[in-house]
Amino acid sequence: MTFPRLELTGITKAYPGVVANSEVSLTVLPGQTHAVLGENGAGKSTLMKIIYGAIKPDAGQMRFNGQPVHIRNPKEARALGISMVFQHFNLFDTITVAENVWLGLDKSLSLDQVSERISSKARQYGLDIDPSRPVHTLGVGEMQRVEIIRALLTQPQLLILDEPTSVLTPQAVEKLFVVLQQLAAEGCSILYISHKLHEIRALCKACTVLRGGKVTGVCNPAEESNASLSKLMIGAEPPQLKHEVREPGAARLTVRDLRLAREDQFGVDLGGINLEVRAGEVLGIAGVSGNGQRELLYALSGEDRRAPKGSIRMGEVDVSAQDPAARRALGLHFVPEERLGRGAVPTLSLAHNLLLTRTEAIAWPGFAGGWLQLAQLRAQAQRIIERFGVKANGPDSAARSLSGGNLQKFIVGREIDAKPALFIVSQPTWGVDVGASAQIRGAILALRDAGCAVLVVSEELDELFEICDRLQVIAHGKLSPSIAAGQATVAQMGEWMSGLWEAPA
């Protein structure tokens, strides 16, 4: 008799004020790719962490290969043959890729042997990565590759993937799918969490749907449509976006011949960047992670103030050497790609996280040590929670207590709520469910229609085609010419991502 690879019965996990999982049952067969679908905050990540031993359930039973198991920690999970790629990466910033991977492997291997295995696996699966690079020099797409390679090196019987393609390009996604299909054919079971419904329909043979921590349905996604899966997940189809052609206004951001040498040996030199974002338009920048997006965004946000004089202007003001606060005073609001650590302080409440970019609740802000108006701060946070449908236990909830998608909604909402004149956002819907993605994209278009200039940096081409008026591609630290979104094709953007825009037609 062949036992199920994984069998969960009655799994329950509660936190103060919220039940994350309520009597969840789930069965995954050997060699099966099984999707777990649900909106942000439905309990998917909690359930995966219970399977991986990172969280202890309050009740329920788990069987692995037919045997009852009580997994106390991830080390025991890996020993059983369970590996997991987290949505929020579990990497140490100050050490190299190889050292991070080595921590989770058999210590009988030397660091050099681990480096060789990483390079071999990267070549085998088309996941380009340098084992000697410090993690803090990587973009989120590159960190995603590290997590995937680390999991593959453990030769798992059950591989858990939480939003594995959220920051991968279409070409990289295709390569990953070939890898996953190969693993499944070899008998590895895969638990796959994604908000990209077309991926689930193409890859998965079974699907369990969670809503509010409870199982609301089990289906074969290949027999469903995107619309029917959306209804199972959020109870309705996501609203259709209305993107009307408009005549843009004056330039709000102008970058001319921006050249910046990399700050570390693993960075990317910016070579003659030129772009313009005008009032009432959305400019999208596509590209494979690690091609200069981080360096460009640091320069535009004011975190890197080495830009040559006159190379970055907001309207008529040269902001090349101005810090982020000075640029915010001119109307620039920015959402970074890293949610925890840059977009929000994990241990601070949502209300106090407003203070990172908002000063309305500070009395006499020019006076060092000015009083905080806490009631106003909480009211602001509550308004953002309600407006953007953030699932949180109130404005005093710690940022780290939110699911990834809900934290993303709050951070994006925090900056949109400030009514910016220039809005720069990186990976706006990373790990966000279909309903919330439509809401965020709709809010970006509403900003644009109200006269805001919007710059979106994303590795998700479908998103860029949906909300952008014009597109450019960044590759090897250089920026392509701009093209109207209606005239661009996915194939063309894929070629440009390799830096081929100067090739003859």
Mean pLDDT, rounded, for 30-45: 91
Res 111: pLDDT? 93
Q: Which two tokens stand for residue 394?
A: 């109130």
pLDDT band at residue 505 under the 50/70/90 scheme: very low
The structural architecture, per CATH, of the domain 247-331+422-505 is 3-Layer(aba) Sandwich (3.40)
Cβ proximity of 300 and 255 under 8 Å:
yes
Tell me the C-alpha to C-alpha distance, in Å, between residue 62 and each of 191, 200, 210, 363, 392.
15, 25, 18, 54, 29
Q: Can you tell me the distance from the alpha carbon of 447 to that of 453, in angstroms, rounded to the nearest whole number?
A: 8
Q: What kind and span of H or E run contains 352?
A: helix 350-353
Who wins on pLDDT, 503 or 40?
40
Q: What is the pLDDT of residue 289?
A: 81
Residues with Cβ within 8 Å of residue 254, at least 6 apart in sequence: 275, 276, 312, 313
Residue 316 has pLDDT above 60, yes or no: yes
Averaged pLDDT for residues 65-87: 92
Q: What is the mean pLDDT of residues 65-83?
A: 94
Q: What is the pTM of this model?
A: 0.74
Q: Residue 1's pLDDT is what?
A: 53
Q: How far apart are CA 245 and CA 280, in angstroms?
A: 10
**Top mean-pLDDT range of 68-77, 159-168, 285-294:** 68-77
Locate 498 and state its tokens: 């390799």
Mean pLDDT of 395-421: 92
How much is the pLDDT for 123?
84
Q: Which of 248 and 141 is assigned the larger pLDDT?
A: 248
Q: What's the half-sphere exposure (Cβ side, CA atoms, 13 Å) at 272? A: 2
56 in Cβ contact with 420 (< 8 Å): no
Helix H or strand E encompassing 259: strand 251-260
Residue type, 172: A
At residue 36, the pLDDT reads 95
| pLDDT reading at 160 higher than 50 | yes
**What pLDDT score was predicted for residue 361?**
66
SS (H, E, C) 210-256: EECCEEEEEECHHHCCHHHHHHHHHCCCCCCCCCCCCCCCCEEEEEE
Domain ranges of the chain: 247-331+422-505
Distance CA 177, CA 194 (A): 13
For the record, the structure tokens of 416 come out as 């949109």
Instruction: Print burial letters for 43-61: b (CB count within 10 Å at least 16), e (below 16).
Output: bbbbbbbbbbbbbebeebe
Percent over 70 (pLDDT), the chain = 96
Beta pairing class for 158-162 and 189-193 = parallel
pLDDT reported for residue 167: 64
- Please determine, for residue 44, whether its predicted confidence score (pLDDT) is greater than 70: yes
Burial of 141 (0-12, 13-18, 19+ CB in 10 A): buried
Quick one: pLDDT band at residue 95, thresholds 50, 70, 90? very high
| Residue 467 vs residues 23, 126, 419: alpha-carbon distances, Å | 40, 30, 18
Residue 28 to residue 64: CA distance in whole angstroms: 10
Ordered strands of the 317-318 beta sheet: 270-278, 251-260, 312-314, 317-318
* Residue 363, pLDDT score: 59
Residue 102 CB-half CA count within 13 A? 17
Whether 249 has a pLDDT exceeding 70, the answer reads yes
pLDDT for the residue numbered 142: 83
Residues 174-198: pLDDT tens digits? 878 888 998 899 899 999 998 888 8
- Coil, helix or strand at residue 494: helix
What pLDDT is attached to residue 367? 45
What DSSP string describes 413-469? HHHHTT--SEEEEESTTTT--HHHHHHHHHHHHHHHHTT-EEEEE-S-HHHHHHH-S
Residues 144, 426: Cα–Cα separation, whole Å: 16
pLDDT at 504 over 50: no
Handedness of CA 47, 52, 58, 64 (dihedral sign): positive
CA distance 353 to 385: 13
Average pLDDT, the chain: 90
Dihedral, CA of residue 141, residue 55, residue 191 and residue 459, to nearest 10: -20
Q: Could you tell me which residues come within 8 angstroms of residue 329 by beta carbon, excluding any fewer than 6 positions away?
A: none
Q: What is the pLDDT of residues 252-284, one digit of tens each?
A: 999 999 999 998 887 899 999 999 999 999 999
pLDDT higher than threshold 90 for residue 128: no
Reported as a pLDDT band with limits 50, 70 and 90, residue 312 is very high
pLDDT tens digits for 354-375?
A: 999 988 767 554 444 567 888 8
| pLDDT tens, position by position, 205-242 | 999 999 889 998 899 999 998 888 888 887 777 677 77
Query: pLDDT (tens digit, 9 = 90+) per residue, 322-337?
Result: 999 999 999 999 999 8
Map tokens 């579990």 to a residue.
90
**Residues linked to residue 210 through DSSP beta bridges, in sequence order:** 215
Question: Is residue 452 within 8 Å of 162, Cβ to Cβ?
Answer: no
* 408 DSSP assignment: H
Give the SS3 label for residue 399: helix
Strand arrangement of the beta sheet that strand 67-68 belongs to: 18-28, 6-15, 59-64, 67-68
